């Protein structure tokens, strides 16, 4: 009959209305600044540069290979290589970035820079409360602002960082084992001096 | 004592006017009453918007505004300040004068309709003999303002919205007015004050509200549905359908002019609800005589509140109609039913307005409802739609 649908609908919304006062299960709202959802591991906002050790700029993993700069779709990364090399965590001499800038007003959080980096040097941050009262300033992030310790990486993406840390430790161990073998072989080769 | 509380506003006004020189008294009375009406209903407008947002949120299991003031009830003040301080943009190719006048032309007739509504015992600004006629005359001129707004914006969406609004408001004006004819017939007067008095308990203990009659019950709902459509409220909010025509006729309005449109819409809704209360729910009269000690204006605003809750509830429930459904409903269902109710009222009057009337008129009205309803929706068959090119 005409009107029965309306009555049914009114009953449904009425039930929701009353139910919302008595049944907290129904409510999906999270009142944001006071209440928060648990952070999700796979969220991504803007990239950061990982460093090892204590000193931020000295410990950057980035070797200024510029792959990410070339791959970044909106071209928001700008890198300038250093002139001199310094040893990386495996002791190999490598360049490091003299300038590493990301324009986060252009960055579209696509994570491509992270995917292409062969040195696990750039990763996505989960920080999203980035609003400021300054409209134009602070959008070009220099490397000192981009640098985050590995412990931060471990905190925001534990699974990912764990795998990478294990691999790096393994690489180092293999290198040390090789060095030990080498030196032992060298020791064997050279006859004990008479 | 009860008498004093009941008449407190009337006596305040009379006392104040006593201090003024004789010739300006009627004018001063008019201005003060208008100010009081605007103040009361302006505040009610603000509170209703908050209540509406909160209630609809609850119907969707959300929280709604809850930050400004206690439980978020001061949200409307923040919104008002925001819309006052916003930039007022007039499109370059708009007809500037008409664009400026339209919101005022909408608000003024709506406010005029309040002049003939009795808010309580002796609380009516103008007790016109043809009060109801005045109400409809003033109310109907809002359509012009709507079209002015849509036309002067020089925007196709605005124009489409205005055309929809005109088509809808004109179509629903008929059942809106025809559904009140029964009330005028049994009362024998067009004066809103007389109509309310005729519905009071009189000598008995039960009030004779018009909604408690078979024809009045049907007419009440017809009137209410038409009032929904007149106020452009969901499910009849086609003139402002966001998904199709952005915002309809007030698309090109911003800032305070937009707020005026918004306010006029709500004031129109209050005034047609108030008329529904006056005509069918006994105005300021108590439902039973032993509750007569409650002040008359309190009864009026209680009933108004119930109707507003119904408006909000329906808005939270129904989806928007399609244009052809809208027109079908007005012309094929509401208009015939409203016309049919007129002879039923005559029958009700002839058989003595008692239980005989119920036995005779009740089934007739119900049968008409069922039959017209079936004619409207019964024959429609839903079939699988086939496409010429897109299938397969
Ligand atoms: S996330 Fe994408 S857009 Fe942002 S810096 Fe990396 S590659 Fe460029
Ligand atoms: S972040 Fe990675 S890919 Fe980019 S320059 Fe540094 S090492 Fe190369």
- Please name which ligand lies nearest the alpha carbon of A101: 1
Report the pLDDT value the prediction gives residue A108, as an integer from 0 to 100: 93
* Rounded-to-integer distance, Cα A77 and Cα A187, Å: 49
Report the pLDDT value the prediction gives residue B17, as an integer from 0 to 100: 79
CB count within 10 Å of CB B66 equals: 15
State if residue A79 touches ligand 2 by the CB under 6 angstroms criterion.
yes
Is B204 part of any domain? Answer: yes
Query: Which segments of chain B does DSSP mark as H helices, in order?
Result: 2-6, 8-18, 25-59, 75-85, 96-113, 131-140, 142-152, 156-178, 181-187, 192-198, 214-230, 242-245, 255-280, 296-317, 323-328, 335-350, 355-373
Total domains, chain B: 1
Average pLDDT over residues A118-125: 90
Phi, psi (deg, nearest 5) at residue B311: -55, -45
* Rounded-to-integer distance, Cα A140 and Cα B59, Å: 45
Report the pLDDT value the prediction gives residue B265, as an integer from 0 to 100: 87
Percent of chain B with pLDDT over 70: 97
Report the pLDDT value the prediction gives residue B140, as an integer from 0 to 100: 84
pLDDT at A27 over 70: yes
Q: In the structure, what pLDDT confidence band is assigned to residue A80 with cuts at 50, 70 and 90?
A: very high
Q: In the structure, what pLDDT confidence band is assigned to residue A58 with cuts at 50, 70 and 90?
A: confident
Report the pLDDT value the prediction gives residue A193, as an integer from 0 to 100: 56
Is B126 part of any domain? Answer: yes
Report the pLDDT value the prediction gives residue B208, as an integer from 0 to 100: 79
Asked if B196 contacts B285 with a C-beta cutoff of 8 angstroms, the reply is yes
Residue span of the structural domain in which B164 resides: 91-377
The C-alpha of A16 sits at a distance from chain B's nearest C-alpha, in angstroms, of 5
User: For A20-34, A175-189, B150-164, B203-217, which range has the lowest pLDDT when averaged over its residues?
Assistant: B203-217
Asked if B210 contacts B303 with a C-beta cutoff of 8 angstroms, the reply is no
| Mean pLDDT, rounded, of chain B | 85
* C-alpha neighbours within 13 Å on the C-beta side of residue B210: 31
Report the pLDDT value the prediction gives residue A188, as an integer from 0 to 100: 80
Average pLDDT over residues A63-69: 91
* More confidently predicted of B277 and B203: B277
Is B8 part of any domain? Answer: no
Give the residue among A137, A131, A120, A138 at the shortest CA–CA distance from A48.
A120
Q: In the structure, what pLDDT confidence band is assigned to residue A179 with cuts at 50, 70 and 90?
A: confident
Residue B38: alpha-carbon gap to chain centroid: 16
Q: Which two tokens stand for residue B283?
A: 């105005």
Q: In the structure, what pLDDT confidence band is assigned to residue A113 with cuts at 50, 70 and 90?
A: very high
pLDDT at B98 over 80: yes
Q: Which residues contact B181 (CB under 8 A, 6 or more apart)?
A: B338, B341, B342, B345
* Rounded-to-integer distance, Cα B83 and Cα B259, Å: 7
Model confidence over B18-72: pLDDT tens digits? 787 788 888 888 888 888 888 989 899 988 999 999 999 988 888 888 888 788 8
Q: Which of A16, A17, A27 sits opposite B63 (nearest CB)?
A: A27
Q: What is the interface pTM, i.e. ipTM, of the complex?
A: 0.75
Set of chain A residues whose Cβ sits within 8 Å of the Cβ of B376: 2
Query: Which segments of A88-157 does DSSP mark as H helices, in order?
Result: 112-116, 143-146, 150-156
Average pLDDT over residues B77-99: 86
pLDDT at B7 over 60: yes
Is B50 part of any domain? Answer: no
Largest CA distance in chain A: 114
Judge: A16–B59 Cβ closer than 8 Å, yes or no: yes
pLDDT at B152 over 70: yes
The C-alpha of B162 sits at a distance from chain A's nearest C-alpha, in angstroms, of 27
Sign of the Cα torsion B209, B213, B215, B217 reads positive
Is B109 part of any domain? Answer: yes
Model confidence over B294-304: pLDDT tens digits? 788 888 899 99
Among chain A residues, the shortest Cα distance to B64 is held by A29
Q: Which residues contact B210 (CB under 8 A, 6 or more apart)?
A: B182, B183, B186, B199, B216, B219, B220, B279, B280, B282
Give, for ligand 2, the residue of A48, A67, A75, A97 to mutate: max count of ligand atoms closer than 8 Å to Cβ: A67
- Taking the CA atoms of residue A41, residue A47, residue A48 and residue A50 in that order, the dihedral angle to the nearest 10 degrees is 70
Average pLDDT over residues B260-276: 89
Q: Which two tokens stand for residue A55?
A: 């000193």
Is B281 part of any domain? Answer: yes
Give the residue among B221, B256, B267, B197 at the shortest CA–CA distance from B372.
B221
Q: In the structure, what pLDDT confidence band is assigned to residue A106 with cuts at 50, 70 and 90?
A: very high
- Identify the H or E element spanning B207: none
Q: Closest residue (by CA) to atom 4 of ligand 1?
A: A107
Q: Which residues contact B308 (CB under 8 A, 6 or more apart)?
A: B48, B51, B269, B270, B273
Is B78 part of any domain? Answer: no
Report the pLDDT value the prediction gives residue A103, as an integer from 0 to 100: 92
Is B359 part of any domain? Answer: yes
State if residue A119 touches ligand 2 by the CB under 6 angstroms criterion.
yes
Whole-angstrom Cα Rg for chain A:
27
C-alpha distances (whole Å) from A125 to each of A67, A162, A190, B124, B378 are 19, 16, 52, 66, 60
State if residue A70 touches ligand 1 by the CB under 6 angstroms criterion.
no
* More confidently predicted of A90 and A190: A90
Among chain A residues, the shortest Cα distance to B376 is held by A2
Percent of chain A with pLDDT over 70: 98
DSSP A76-96: -EEEEE-SS-EE-TTS-EE--
Average pLDDT over residues B352-374: 82
Report the pLDDT value the prediction gives residue A192, as an integer from 0 to 100: 61
Report the pLDDT value the prediction gives residue B6, as an integer from 0 to 100: 75
Report the pLDDT value the prediction gives residue B381, as an integer from 0 to 100: 67
Average pLDDT over residues B96-120: 88
Q: Which two tokens stand for residue B226?
A: 């038409």
Name the A residues in 28-67 with CB < 8 Å from any B CB. 28-29, 31
- Please name which ligand lies nearest the alpha carbon of A76: 1
């Amino acid at each position: 009959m005409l009107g029965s649908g309306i009555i049914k609908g009114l009953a449904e919304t009425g039930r929701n209305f009353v139910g919302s006062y008595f049944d907290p299960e129904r409510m999906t709202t999270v009142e944001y600044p006071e209440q928060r959802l648990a952070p999700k591991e796979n969220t991504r906002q803007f990239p950061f540069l990982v460093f090892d050790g204590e000193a931020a700029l000295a410990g950057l993993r980035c070797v200024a290979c510029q792959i990410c700069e070339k791959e970044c779709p909106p071209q928001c990364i700008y890198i300038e290589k250093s002139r001199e090399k310094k040893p990386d965590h495996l002791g190999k001499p490598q360049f490091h970035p003299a300038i590493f800038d990301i324009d986060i007003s252009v960055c579209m959080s696509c994570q491509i820079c992270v995917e292409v980096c062969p040195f696990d040097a750039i990763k996505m941050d989960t920080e999203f409360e980035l609003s400021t009262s300054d409209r134009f300033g602070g959008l070009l992030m220099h490397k000192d602002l981009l640098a985050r310790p590995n412990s931060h990486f471990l905190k925001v993406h534990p699974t990912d960082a764990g795998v990478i840390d294990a691999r790096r430790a393994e690489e180092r161990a293999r290198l040390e084992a090789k060095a030990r073998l080498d030196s032992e072989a060298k020791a064997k080769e050279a006859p004990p001096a008479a | 004592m009860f008498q004093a509380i009941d008449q407190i506003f009337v006596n305040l006004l009379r006392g104040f006017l006593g201090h003024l020189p004789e010739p300006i008294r009627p004018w001063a009375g008019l201005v003060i009453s208008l100010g009081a009406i605007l103040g009361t209903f302006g505040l009610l407008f603000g509170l209703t918007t908050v209540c509406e947002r909160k209630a609809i949120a609850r119907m969707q299991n959300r929280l709604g505004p809850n930050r400004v003031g206690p439980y978020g009830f001061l949200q409307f003040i923040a919104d008002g300040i925001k819309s006052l301080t916003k930039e007022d943009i007039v499109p370059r190719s708009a007809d500037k004068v008409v664009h400026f006048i339209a919101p005022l032309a909408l608000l003024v007739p709506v406010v005029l309709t309040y002049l003939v509504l009795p808010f309580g015992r002796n609380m009516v600004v103008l007790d016109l003999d043809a009060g109801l006629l005045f109400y409809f005359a003033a109310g109907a001129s809002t359509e012009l303002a709507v079209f002015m707004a849509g036309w002067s914006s020089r925007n196709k969406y605005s124009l489409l919205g205005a055309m929809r609004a005109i088509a809808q408001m004109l179509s629903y004006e008929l059942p809106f007015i025809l559904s009140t004819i029964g009330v005028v017939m049994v009362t024998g007067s067009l004066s809103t004050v007389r109509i309310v008095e005729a519905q009071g308990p009189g000598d008995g203990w039960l009030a004779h509200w018009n909604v408690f009659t078979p024809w009045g019950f049907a007419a009440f709902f017809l009137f209410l549905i038409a009032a929904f459509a007149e106020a452009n409220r969901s499910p009849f909010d086609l003139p402002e359908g966001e998904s199709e025509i952005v915002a309809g006729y007030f698309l090109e309005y911003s800032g305070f002019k937009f707020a005026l449109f918004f306010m006029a819409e709500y004031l129109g809704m209050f005034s047609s609800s108030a008329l529904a209360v006056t005509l069918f729910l006994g105005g300021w009269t108590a439902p039973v005589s032993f509750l007569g000690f409650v002040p008359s204006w309190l009864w009026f605003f209680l009933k108004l509140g119930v109707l507003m809750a119904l408006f909000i509830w329906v808005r939270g429930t129904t989806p928007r109609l399609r244009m052809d459904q809208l027109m079908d409903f007005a012309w094929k269902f509401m208009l015939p039913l409203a016309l049919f109710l007129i002879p039923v009222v005559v029958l009700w009057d002839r058989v003595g307005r008692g239980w005989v009337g119920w036995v005779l008129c009740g089934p007739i009205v119900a049968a008409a409802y069922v039959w017209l309803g079936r004619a409207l929706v019964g024959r429609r068959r839903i079939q699988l739609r086939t496409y010429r090119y897109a299938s397969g």
